[in-house]
Amino acid sequence: MQKNPLVLNLLLLMLFTQGSGGNPSPLRLSVQPEKRYQLWQTEDLRVPWIYKQAVTTTPETVEYEIALNSATERTLFYKLQPTPPAPTIDWFTSYRGERSQMEAHGHFLLACSDGGFLQIGESGSPSNSGRILVIKVDENGALIWKQETALFIEGSLNLGNSALEVADGYIILGSQQSNGSNSGQNSMIAKLNKSTGVPLFIETFDSGGADAFEHAATNDTGYIAVGYRQAMDSENTFYTEGQGQLTFLNSNGVQIASFDLNNYLSQAYRIYPTQGGYIISGQAAENTQYGLIKIDSTGTVLWHRQYGFESVDGSADDDHCFALDVSTHGHLFLSGHTRFGYQSSGLNQTNNWDTLTCKIDGSGNLIWIRRQGNPRGFDPRYIHDEAWGIRATPDGGCLVVAGSGDEYENYSAHSQDELSDKWVVYLIKYAADGVLEWETTFGDPGEALGWDWAGEDIVLTSDGAAVIAVDNASFGFLKITPLFNP
């Protein structure tokens, strides 16, 4: 059988020297009808290609034209290749904590320097014997260790929110229940031995009321942690209705200083280093907008922005920001979910929670914003598409991971052998220019692996693939087939 190079992996190099005089004819490349392509460009084949744009051909398209500019003296190479297809499952495994009878719910996934993966969340829940749980697996998903008991102090209001790797351990961020209080929480930072998961230190701080660390980044003297204080809903593992907080800690987890971020964020959720400081994302006031601020190394706010939709007709305008990543080129990616325009009843009831993703430049300027949801084609009034993780991809785009399903007793539907109230992992790929390249879902093929699956976080792997943290009432680790050439 003759192989079609366009189907396998089209690689067309077109050499053109601009500035040669006159108006050059456009380059014409053969393409297939009704396909998606990626157009790339470079001036030097020794450096990475630069993504230019997504190309979608019509049923009549057989050629794609690249307009050439003769204004400057330079040589350009072009590459047009089919958009890679949506991935499939490579492997899946899941684990519970030391109390195997308790459900476990992960929130954050870390790709480790040894090729393995670390997931953090809770065994139990804040209302049912909740304890911080950390599970480490190797590059194939085999269990290395789990830690629950040594991180437990007392009570149920114990949250495992995120982790980061340092040279001699894993730093764990979250909260512990306050001594003698059934409703209080204190922010917590711990350090675990890489090989065994045994705690090297555990430090807690009372920042005011119910408080917690959500995430942290390293600095010259230790760590910069973000989170909240004075939470009104301390049992909520998502949005606690608190006041944003920034905390500086030394390398042993001892607090140095703290700053109030409540003028910008009611819940500071993620922090990553970037050129000239740190980017912090989270929920703006009243949780109706995505919030983003940039600080310098001292904690001084350099700029702040808000993104999302604002209602003008009394319908919902909730925009919940739970995911941040910074690309190698300095672009910022935010994701979460929106209920903009939602009405609980009446003729205008047309939608529910959808994913909401933004690409932003290093100065905080919005490049594009995209709303996407209901991948299985159910009645959108009842479907929740809740995004929790995002990763910038080498082509300038991003991957968004979410959970998709319904939570309504008065609604249940089938579509193409799918059941609406059986939740699935929902994975979305955007190109650098915001074009939706594909969306796909993964779920329990039967009932043995948790029934409901929801995507909680995602990390890229060294072989060009990705691993997704899955909530299936356990800590699920799902590796998908490669997306890129490593």
What confidence tens digit (pLDDT) does each residue in 281-326 have? Answer: 999 977 789 999 999 999 999 999 999 987 766 666 789 999 999 9
pLDDT of 483 higher than 50: yes
12 within some domain: yes
pLDDT tens digits along 48-104? 888 888 898 999 888 898 887 766 667 888 888 899 899 999 999 999 999 999 999
236 within some domain: no
pLDDT band with cut points at 50, 70 and 90 for residue 206: very high
34 within some domain: yes
Could you report how far apart the first and last alpha carbons of the chain are, in Å?
Answer: 29
pLDDT band with cut points at 50, 70 and 90 for residue 340: confident
pLDDT band with cut points at 50, 70 and 90 for residue 2: very low
pLDDT tens digits along 411-429? 999 988 889 999 999 999 9
106 within some domain: no
Domain residues for the domain of 49 are: 5-82
The total number of structural domains that make up the chain: 1
159 within some domain: no
Q: Tell me which residue of 342, 449, 337, 473 sits closest to 400, measured CA to CA.
A: 337
115 within some domain: no
Average pLDDT over residues 343-368: 88
Cβ contact 201:252 at 8 Å = yes
Cβ contact 133:146 at 8 Å = yes
pTM value is 0.91
- Chain centroid, CA 250 distance in Å: 28
211 within some domain: no
385 within some domain: no
H or E element that contains 92: strand 89-95
